[in-house]
C-alpha cells in the first residue's frame, strides 16, 4: 500500500482542491514581446547575452537529454557563467518565482544583467526580497515560518509571468491527475508552472509537507523540462512519468527524483488563472 501523503489527505477533505482554472484560449499566453523602447538596447547586446535576456529559461534551445541535466545560466554582461541557483535552503520557491518573472519581463531580465553588483548577487537579493513578501501577511506580519520556505498560497499571490497570474491547487487524491495534466497543458502552451515537491509519511511527518519548489518550463516532444533551483539546472523527464509518478518503471523514477530536487512526489501546483494586467 502506498504511504500516505499530506496532499492526499488535504484533497480528500476538499482543502485547496477547488475547480481547476479554465484552459486559456489558443495564443492567449504567447511569450511576452519586448517593449518598443527596449528593442534598441537588446539589439546592442552580444548575441549570447541577448538570447539569455529574451529567454532566461532556455526554452528556445533543444530540451536537455534525459539523465543529462544542463546548467541554467543567469543573463549577465560580466562575461562569466552565473548559474541560476537558490541562495539558501529556504529560497527554492523564491528562486523559481524570480526566474518566472524574468522569463515574462525582458526589461527585468536586462536590468538584472546590468546591475553593478553582478547577476548572481542581484539574483540572491531578489530571492531574499521575494521570500520576505511570500511569508508575510497583512501589515507585514509573519504569516508563515520563514524556515519552511515559501507557502503555496504566498507564492500564488506574487507569481507573475508577464500579465499572467496564478492560483494554487493541491496535487492529491482523485484530482491529482487532472491537476498535473493542467500543469503540463499550461507549460505546453508556453506558460511555466511552479511545482511543489515532497515526500510522504513513511519518512516522517516533516517530509510529508511541501519541501521544495521546481519550475515546469516546457513540455514538447514527449518530454517535460524542469528547472531545479538547488543545482541551477534544467532536467528533462518523460511527460508520462511526470503525470503518473506512481506508475513508471525504475528508470523513469530515477530521472524524476533529481528533477524534483530529490523528492519523489509533486504535491502542489501553481496554475495560470488569467492574463489580466
Write the pLDDT tens digit of every residue in 139-177: 555 566 666 778 899 999 999 999 899 999 999 888 889
Q: Residues of 193-203 as b/e, b for ≥16 C-beta within 10 angstroms? A: bbbbbbbbeee
Q: Provide the grid cell at 157.
A: 499571490
Assess whether pLDDT exceeds 50 at residue 277.
Answer: no
> What is the C-alpha to C-alpha distance for residues 69 and 212, in angstroms, rounded to an integer?
18
Average pLDDT over residues 121-131: 94
Q: Environment class of residue 174 by beta-carbon count within 10 Å: exposed (0-12), middle (13-18) or buried (19+)?
A: exposed
Assigned domain for 212 exists: yes
Average pLDDT over residues 17-27: 67
Which H/E stretch holds residue 243?
helix 239-243
Assigned domain for 1 exists: no
Write the pLDDT tens digit of every residue in 91-119: 999 999 999 999 999 999 999 999 878 89
pTM value is 0.89
Instruction: Give me the phi and psi of 51, to 5 degrees please.
Output: -65, -40
- Give the per-residue pLDDT at 22: 74
Share of the chain above pLDDT 90, in %: 57
> What is the C-alpha to C-alpha distance for residues 63 and 49, in angstroms, rounded to an integer?
20
Assigned domain for 141 exists: yes
How many structural domains comprise the chain?
1
Adjacent-strand bridge partners of 41: none
Under the banding of pLDDT at 50, 70 and 90, the label for residue 1 is: very low
3-state secondary structure of 221: coil
Q: Provide the grid cell at 189.
A: 502552451
Assigned domain for 136 exists: yes
Per the structure, the complete domain to which residue 226 belongs is given by 6-274
Q: Sheet holding 212-220: strands in order across? A: 70-71, 233-238, 223-228, 212-220, 193-198, 265-274, 165-170
Assigned domain for 152 exists: yes
Amino acid at each position: 500500500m502506498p504511504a500516505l501523503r499530506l496532499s492526499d489527505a488535504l484533497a480528500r477533505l476538499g482543502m485547496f482542491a477547488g475547480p481547476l482554472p479554465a484552459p486559456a484560449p489558443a495564443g492567449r499566453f504567447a511569450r511576452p514581446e519586448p517593449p518598443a523602447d527596449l528593442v534598441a538596447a537588446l539589439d546592442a547586446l552580444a548575441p549570447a547575452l541577448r538570447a539569455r535576456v529574451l529567454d532566461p529559461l532556455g526554452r528556445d534551445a533543444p530540451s536537455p537529454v534525459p539523465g543529462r541535466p544542463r546548467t541554467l545560466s543567469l543573463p549577465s554582461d560580466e562575461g562569466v557563467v552565473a548559474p541560476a541557483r537558490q541562495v539558501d535552503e529556504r529560497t527554492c520557491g523564491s528562486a523559481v518565482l524570480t526566474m518566472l518573472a524574468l522569463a515574462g519581463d525582458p526589461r527585468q531580465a536586462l536590468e538584472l544583467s546590468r546591475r553593478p553588483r553582478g547577476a548572481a548577487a542581484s539574483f540572491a537579493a531578489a530571492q531574499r526580497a521575494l521570500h520576505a513578501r511570500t511569508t508575510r501577511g497583512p501589515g507585514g506580519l509573519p504569516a508563515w515560518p520563514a524556515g519552511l520556505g515559501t507557502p503555496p498560497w504566498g507564492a500564488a499571490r506574487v507569481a507573475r509571468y508577464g500579465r499572467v497570474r496564478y492560483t494554487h491547487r493541491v496535487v492529491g487524491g482523485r484530482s491529482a491527475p487532472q491537476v498535473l495534466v493542467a500543469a503540463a497543458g499550461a507549460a505546453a502552451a508556453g506558460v511555466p508552472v511552479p511545482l511543489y515537491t515532497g515526500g510522504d509519511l513513511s519518512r516522517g511527518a516533516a517530509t510529508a509537507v511541501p519541501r521544495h519548489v521546481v519550475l515546469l518550463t516546457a513540455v514538447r516532444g514527449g518530454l517535460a523540462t524542469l528547472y531545479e533551483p538547488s543545482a541551477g539546472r534544467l532536467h528533462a523527464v518523460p511527460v508520462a512519468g511526470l503525470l503518473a509518478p506512481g506508475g513508471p518503471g525504475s528508470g523513469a523514477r530515477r530521472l524524476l527524483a533529481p528533477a524534483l530536487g530529490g523528492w519523489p512526489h509533486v504535491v502542489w501546483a501553481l496554475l495560470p488563472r488569467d492574463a489580466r494586467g
